[in-house]
Structure 1
Amino acid sequence: MNKFKISIVFLLVSMLVACSSYTSKGRYQIEQDHSPDNIPPLGHVEDVNPRYEPYSIGGNKDYNVRGIDYKVLTGITELTERGKASWYGNKFHGHLTSNGERYDMFTMSAAHKNLPLPSYVTVKNLENNRQITVRINDRGPFHEGRIIDLSYAAAHKLGILKNGTAEVEINLLHFPAEEDSANQFNGEYFIQYLVTSLPDKANDLGKAHSQQYQVASSFIREDKLYKLRLGPFNSQLKAENILAKMKNIYPEAFILHNQ
C-alpha cells in the first residue's frame, strides 16, 4: 500500500471515529453537564421584568418524554408548587430551548414540565429564603421530585450551585392580555398585508378592511406598486390579534413597527 492510500485510509478512520464520538453524545457536544469554564461576573444580572407575552409557536403542545405523557397547562392563571429545584449549564448553552430560543445560562431563565411557554414565576429557596423571578422558556427537569430547572445565573442568585438542588416554592405570575402595559404605546404598529399594481384594488380593499377591523387604512406607493397597510395600532398585542385573522386570507402579512 503506497503512502497516498495509507493517508486516505487514515483520514477515513479518523472521520469515522469523530462521527461515532459525536453521535454517542446525541445532539449535544458535551456528554455530562457542568459549570461553565469561564464564568463572567454575575452581580449585575437582575431578575427578569415579568409581563404579558403571547404563547410561543413552539413548545406548547402536550408531549411525551421517556414514555411519560406531559400536559401543557395552557390558560392557567394560578400555580403554586413545592419541590426541588435543580440547574442546567454548559452542556445545553447555545442550544435551542423548547420554544425555539437559544439557551443562555447567564440569563434569568428556567425550564418547567407543564407551564405554557413563556411564563414567569417567582422561585423561593426555602432553605435560605432567597427569592428570584425567572422566565420559563424550556421543558424539564425530567427527574422525580424536581419541579424546575434553573439557568446557571438563576441558580447562582438563589444559592443552589454548590449543592446542585434545593427545596423551593414557585408561584406563577399571571398577566391578562388587557393589562399588557409593557406593550402599550411605544411608536406605531402597522400590518402590511398585500402589494398590488392595481390602484382601484388597493383603494377598495383598504376601505373594506378598514371598515371590517375598525382601524385606519393606507397604502405606500413605490414605483407602480401599492403596499396596503392597516394601522396605526398603539399596541403590538392589538396588531398581533388582527394579524392572526388576516393571515387566513393574506398568509404573507406581517407587522411593521415605526418608532
Structure 2
Amino acid sequence: MDRPFSQGRPLPQILERRSRLKEVNVNKRWWKKGSARLLLAALVLAPAGGCASAFPLSGAGEELRGVASWYGSDFHGRPTASGEIYDMHAMTAAHKTLPLGTVLDVRNLDNGRSVRVVVNDRGPFVKGRILDLSYEAARRMDMIGPGTARVALRVVGRDPRYRKYIKVADSGSSGPYVVQLGAFTDAANARRLRRALAVKYRGAYVSAARISGRKFYRVRIGSFEKRAEAMELARRLADEGYAAVLMRK
C-alpha cells in the first residue's frame, strides 16, 4: 500500500536512472534520438542561462486541486514533449504549463493514496482536467477503473537533468530565424508536440521536408529577422525543458 502524502518521500526511480537517449551521427552532425522516429538536437553550444533562472520553482509548496486522468498503451513508446519516450510503467505525468522536470506529489482525495511523479509531457487537453498520470502512477492511486479522480497537487521541486541547452545551427544559410523543437518521421508525433506548444506559444507549426530521402515533420515557432529575438524565444523554451534549435528557415 502506498504511504500517505508526504514531501519527505524519495524520488521515484525515473529520477534516479540516466536517460536512455543514444547518440548517432547524421550527415556528420551529432544528434540524440530516443527512437527511429525522433530526432532531437544534442550539440551543446549555448546554455539556457544559469541554474537559478533555469529551474523556477514557482508555486513550490502550494496545493492545487482538480481532476486528474491517466494515459497508457495508446501512447506507450511515443516521444513526450520533453523528448523522452513515454513509458506507461514509469512514474511520470503530463501538465499543460508546469516546466518539464517539475516533481509533484499527487494525492487522491477520494482514497488518500499518493504518488510522486515527474512532469515530462504536456496535457491533458480535455476541459476540466489538470493532470494526466502515467498508467503506473494511476494504478498506484487506484484510479485505473474510474479513469479520473479528484486530486491535490503539490510542487516539490525540479529534476535538474531536464535542463536543456540551445543548439545553434544558423551558419551557411540565409533567411529568417526560426526555433525548431523537434523533427519526426511520424506526423502524429509532430502534431502532438505542436499542440502542446500552442498552449503557451503562438505560431507553432509543422513544416514537412525531405532530407536524405526521408520525410521529416519539423515542429517550429516563429520567423524572426533579428537573431536576438529568436534567441530569446529559444532561451525561454529551453528553460521550460524543450530541446530548442536556433536555425535559419
TM-score, normalisation: structure 2: 0.42
TM-score, normalisation: structure 1: 0.40
Larger radius of gyration: 1
**Where is the helix percentage greater, Structure 1 or Structure 2?**
1
Tell me which of the two structures has the higher relative contact order, counting C-alpha pairs closer than 8 angstroms and 6 or more residues apart: 2
